[in-house]
């Protein structure tokens, strides 16, 4: 299908909702003790349950329920104290039982919402219709042999939650902002690694259009298995344009399931869209209903970490951390833990935040590691930050010499180490004054230019004095001495 023709987009409004499949990061599968780890040899993580052998019965993994509840609480959902599993019947080669165990009428979480922030700073609330538990299917591989398709059942039975939004999305930007926030949340709550490349997070988009100002929904098409936030945006933009072109030309939208071609940026029909009655849902007789007691729910709520929005707001209000820096810290649960461990040792929390999102983050990116692999302890970094703030050491020397020297030496005391390496700022005013005299004598022409009003050369003088002092001087003190001498 080629790119749809340009049409007036002001006549029609996009209406979209997402179905987001999140693969939970439990050690074992949802109904068996098979490993749920990614990357094993094909058909290594299987058992009678995941193979659906006769007589094999499922047994629910309790941790799956706890992770689903955590996600529901984060999305402001009501948690159903009693919920149960259903069988969704359809045939495919990588679904050994011929049905999928899921939740239909009574999902674990319902009626929530998530607030998203758009590029222009405006906020929008997207409703969450439901979160339900289900098992993943296996994987069919059609490119391994010329004559046969292969099936890998390692993924069969891996636990999923499906997050179904209300049709509140009105642009591809809103859809990408929502998926971005959800990916951050699942990682923050340790529910999933959120890796879209490995299939841990997959998204289907239901897309329709309607004339602007009307409330009745149009015929929707579902674009399946979007594996990146960029492709989600591209698929919505293309499909909106396609549907608008069809309707503008007098045609009708046919409800169908679509595939997105990432190379061409286009959608194409896979099959006509199934309805719920096609799946013949009925309660699974092999699994008892899930009962979530008030005590267990209270414990899960107690164990929930503060969510990024409230953490970042607290950092801004209580410590004066810049909003963008606060959000970077709050959204990474491991960076936040490091920050919280360092906070008890640092004198200025804002300075600590500046170091973490600036110099430390740059160093992590350079080494292609995250904060969990950073070999400077929170206490060492806090001491280093304190030393810079107290003008015991310059920021440049702290970053370029002390930080590398401390790296991988968790037992080292930062201040003692700096003293041993002769990195501390010299407070010898006579020595600094001598450096100042040498520099001003060397750059006599620039001194005359300064006295005639060319104040910009002062930076040259400061830099040259710092070189003579081997960086072990307070730049502000140097600046002060230079101005006293020049004036």
Encode pLDDT of 135-184 as tens digits: 999 998 888 888 999 999 999 999 999 999 999 999 999 999 999 999 99
pLDDT in tens, 403-437: 988 988 888 898 888 888 888 776 656 666 676 67
Q: Is the pLDDT of residue 5 over 60?
A: no
Output the pLDDT for position 434.
73
Pick 470 or 340 by higher pLDDT. 340
Pick 58 or 274 by higher pLDDT. 58
Q: Is the pLDDT of residue 2 over 60?
A: no
Which strand ranges, in their side-by-side order, compose the sheet holding 78-79?
Answer: 78-79, 109-117, 123-135, 159-165, 12-23, 201-211, 221-226, 256-261, 266-272
Report residue 309's pLDDT band, with 50, 70 and 90 as the boundaries: confident
Among 26-35, 246-255, 457-466, the range scoring the smallest mean pLDDT is 457-466
Residue 212's nearest CA partner among 479, 437, 10 is: 10
Pick the CATH number of 429-486 from 1.10.10.60, 1.10.10.410, 3.90.950.10, 1.10.3720.10: 1.10.10.410
Q: Is residue 239 a contact partner of residue 59, using CB atoms and an 8 Å limit? A: no
Output the pLDDT for position 239.
95
Token pair of 231 as six digits: 């492709």
pLDDT in tens, 42-101: 999 999 999 999 999 999 999 999 999 999 999 999 999 999 999 999 888 889 999 999
Output the pLDDT for position 271.
65
Output the pLDDT for position 275.
62
Domain regions of the chain by residue span:
12-295, 305-420, 429-486
Q: Is residue 253 a contact partner of residue 208, using CB atoms and an 8 Å limit? A: yes
Output the pLDDT for position 452.
66
Output the pLDDT for position 74.
95
CA–CA separation, 205 and 267 (whole Å): 12
Q: Is residue 234 a contact partner of residue 260, using CB atoms and an 8 Å limit? A: yes
Q: Is residue 33 a contact partner of residue 47, using CB atoms and an 8 Å limit? A: yes
Output the pLDDT for position 428.
58
Query: What is the pTM for the complete model shown?
Result: 0.78
Sequence-ordered list of residues with C-beta below 8 angstroms from that of 386, at least 6 positions apart, any chain:
345, 346, 347, 348
Sequence-ordered list of residues with C-beta below 8 angstroms from that of 31, at least 6 positions apart, any chain:
49, 58, 59, 60, 61, 101, 135, 157, 287
| Average pLDDT for the chain | 88
pLDDT in tens, 193-222: 998 888 899 999 999 999 999 999 999 999
Q: Is the pLDDT of residue 35 over 60?
A: yes
Task: Specify the 3-state DSSP secondary structure of 45.
Answer: coil
Output the pLDDT for position 482.
73
């Amino acid at each position: 299908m080629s790119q749809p023709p340009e049409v007036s987009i002001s006549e029609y409004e996009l209406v979209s909702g997402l179905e987001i499949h999140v693969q939970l990061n439990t050690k074992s599968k949802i109904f068996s003790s098979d490993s749920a780890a990614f990357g094993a040899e094909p058909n290594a993580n299987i058992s009678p349950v995941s193979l659906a052998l006769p007589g094999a019965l499922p047994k629910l993994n309790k941790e799956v329920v706890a992770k689903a509840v955590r996600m529901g609480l984060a999305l402001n959902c009501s948690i159903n104290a009693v919920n149960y599993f259903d069988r969704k019947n359809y045939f495919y080669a990588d679904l050994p039982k011929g049905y999928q165990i899921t939740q239909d009428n009574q999902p674990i979480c319902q009626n929530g919402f998530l607030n998203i922030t758009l590029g222009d700073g405006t906020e929008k609330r997207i409703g969450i219709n439901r979160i339900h538990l289900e098992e993943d299917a296996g994987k069919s591989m059609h490119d391994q042999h010329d004559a046969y398709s292969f099936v890998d059942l390692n993924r069969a039975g891996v636990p999923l939650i499906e997050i179904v939004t209300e049709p509140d999305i009105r642009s591809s930007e809103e859809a990408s902002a929502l998926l971005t926030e959800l990916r951050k949340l699942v990682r923050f709550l340790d529910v999933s690694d959120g890796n879209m490349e490995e299939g841990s997070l997959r998204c289907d988009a239901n897309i329709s259009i309607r004339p602007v100002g009307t409330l009745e929904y149009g015929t929707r098409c579902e674009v399946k298995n979007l594996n990146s936030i960029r492709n989600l945006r591209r698929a919505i933009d293309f499909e909106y344009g396609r549907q608008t072109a069809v309707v503008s030309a007098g045609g009708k939208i046919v409800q169908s399931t679509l595939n997105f071609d990432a190379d061409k940026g286009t959608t194409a029909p896979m099959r006509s869209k199934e309805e719920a009655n096609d799946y013949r849902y009925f309660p699974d007789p092999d699994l008892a209903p899930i009962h979530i007691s008030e005590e267990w729910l209270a414990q899960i709520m107690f164990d929930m970490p503060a969510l990024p929005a409230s953490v970042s707001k607290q950092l801004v209000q209580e410590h004066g951390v810049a909003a963008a820096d606060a959000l970077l810290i709050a959204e990474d649960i491991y960076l936040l833990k490091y920050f919280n461990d360092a906070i008890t040792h640092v004198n200025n929390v804002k300075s600590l935040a500046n170091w973490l999102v600036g110099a430390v983050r740059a160093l992590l990116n350079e080494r292609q590691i995250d904060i969990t692999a950073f070999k400077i302890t929170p206490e060492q970094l806090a001491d280093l930050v304190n030393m810079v703030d107290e003008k015991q050491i310059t920021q440049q020397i702290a970053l370029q010499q002390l930080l590398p020297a401390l790296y991988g030496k968790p037992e080292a005391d930062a201040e003692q180490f700096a003293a041993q390496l002769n990195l501390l700022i010299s407070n010898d005013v006579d020595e600094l004054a001598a450096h100042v005299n040498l520099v001003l004598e060397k750059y006599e022409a620039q001194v005359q230019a300064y006295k005639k009003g060319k104040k910009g050369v002062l930076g040259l003088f400061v830099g040259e004095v710092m070189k003579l002092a081997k960086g072990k001087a307070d730049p502000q003190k140097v600046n002060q001495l230079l101005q006293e001498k020049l004036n």
